């Protein structure tokens, strides 16, 4: 069952901010929002994750709505190397049992144009 909904594709101009939306309306209280990306012919790469508060690291910012039903990944200054498929994933914080899964959906293909 798909727990997240993302647009299949987006375009962004190089140097501009890329804002990738994700809907997760059925998220439960103990589930985090994770973002990964996959550049062509490479394995998925972790970007950022969060529970309630907005998060920022050297790669991106994550904005989570107050009701936690949606989030936005922001790449502040997109470069050509950011062209990739971006996956939004919800996952339980429980580290044991079958809840500990990283289930990928279709993701959003972000194309950064020169």
Residues at the interface with other proteins (CB under 8 A): 32, 34, 38, 42-46, 49, 87, 91, 93, 95-98, 100-107
CB 16 within 8 A of CB 76: no
Q: Report the residue number, 9 or 113, with the smaller CB distance to other proteins.
A: 9
Query: With respect to other proteins, which residue has the nearer C-beta, 26 or 45?
Result: 45
For the bound state, the minimum distance from the C-beta of residue 93 to other proteins, rounded and expressed in Å, comes to: 5
Closer residue to other proteins (CB): 29 or 114 = 29
CB of 63 to other proteins, least distance (A): 19
Closest separation between CB of residue 19 and other proteins, Å?
22
Closer residue to other proteins (CB): 77 or 101: 101
Residues 56 and 58: their CA atoms lie apart, in Å, by 7
DSSP string, 16-45: S-EEEEEE-TT--TTEEEEEEEE-TTS--E
Sequence length of the chain is 114
CB of 46 to other proteins, least distance (A): 3
Backbone angles phi, psi at 99, to 5 degrees: -70, -20
3 state SS of 103:
coil
């Amino acid at each position: 069952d798909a727990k997240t909904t993302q647009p299949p594709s987006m375009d962004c101009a190089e140097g501009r901010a890329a804002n990738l939306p994700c809907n997760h309306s059925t998220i439960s209280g103990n589930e985090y929002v994770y973002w990964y990306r996959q550049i062509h012919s490479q394995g998925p790469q972790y970007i950022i994750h969060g529970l309630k508060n907005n998060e920022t690291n050297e790669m991106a910012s994550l904005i989570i709505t107050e009701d936690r039903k949606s989030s936005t990944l922001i790449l502040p200054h997109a470069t050509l190397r950011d062209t990739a498929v971006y996956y939004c994933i919800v996952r339980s914080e429980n580290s044991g049992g079958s809840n500990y899964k990283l289930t990928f959906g279709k993701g959003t293909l972000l194309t950064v144009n020169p």
